[in-house]
Amino acid sequence: MDSDTPMLAQLKRASELGLAEICFTDHSEHVWPDRKLQFTLDIPAYQKAVSELPDLGVRVRWGVEFGIPCDEETTKEHLDRIREAGFDFVIASAHMVEGEDPYFPYYYEGRTVSEANAHYVGILLQYIRRLPPESFCAVGHVDYGSKFNPDQTAVMRYSDCPDALDELFRHVIQHGKCIEVNTSMYRKLGKDIPGLDWLTRYRELGGEYVTFGSDAHIPSHMAYRFEDAAELAKAAGLKYYATFEHMQPTMHKL
């Protein structure tokens, strides 16, 4: 719904960049309060489009960004669709927070930067706990609570919500999953990359690997600042990032 870039254009850009592998992760939100904005994913059409892409020397994986619904019943219904599809990679993300959309300024009204981040992570933790571990591979953009904050300097700090982040990281690590380093935040800031504090804590708690996502809705954002993201992960003490096939990770040294 929020990108009209042809998949082939993205693949051509990946080939130009010399990437060995990419994974498409279209949104599947299933239910969206604003009926003008629907992210219901046509999975068969999506699979067909991926299968028809030409060979440009880049491995193409088939994934999805699963937007966790706000209620448990809809979450279960949505998970059934995702399971049946047989994706290579599933990102579990929260885009709606108790019926509120952090994309819009109203979400941040009456909340400081720290409060907005803490509220988002706390709800994300609740949502992730609902999911069977086998239903997802990585948790997407844990710092989403600052991405669209009208305060252009807003970033997520570990100190904003240490207990919730610790619980989220422990849950993910316990089940052999990982977190995503999402570089779309770097496009907003255009300066030093945030996240060293919470990535370091993730590693301290036993996190061994991450995934990298650029949230590229247009070709120029493909693999945006991935080298910087890799350096950030290494600075946090992490040694590996993962790619996925049939929901199984392959580790690559940073």
pLDDT, one tens digit per residue, over 123-133 is 999 999 999 99
Note whether residue 189 is domain-resident. yes
Q: Which has more pLDDT, 191 or 121? A: 121
- Residue 2 lies inside a defined structural domain of this protein: no
Number of domains into which the chain is organized: 1
Q: What is the pLDDT of residue 186?
A: 84
Tell me which residue range forms the domain holding 117: 7-253
Residue 161 within a domain = yes
> What is the per-residue pLDDT for 81?
87
Question: Average pLDDT for residues 245-253, to the nearest whole number?
Answer: 97
Q: For residue 58, is it within any domain?
A: yes
**In the numeric block, which tokens belong to residue 69?**
């619904």
CA dist 76 and 96 (Å) reads 16
Q: Where are the beta strands (DSSP E) in 29-177?
A: 59-67, 89-93, 138-139
**Interval 47-68 mean pLDDT:** 96
For residue 154, give the amino acid letter: A
Give this prediction's pTM.
Answer: 0.94
In a domain, residue 170? The reply is yes
User: For position 216, which CATH number holds?
Assistant: 3.20.20.140
> Average pLDDT over the chain, rounded to whole?
93
Does 51 map to a domain?
yes
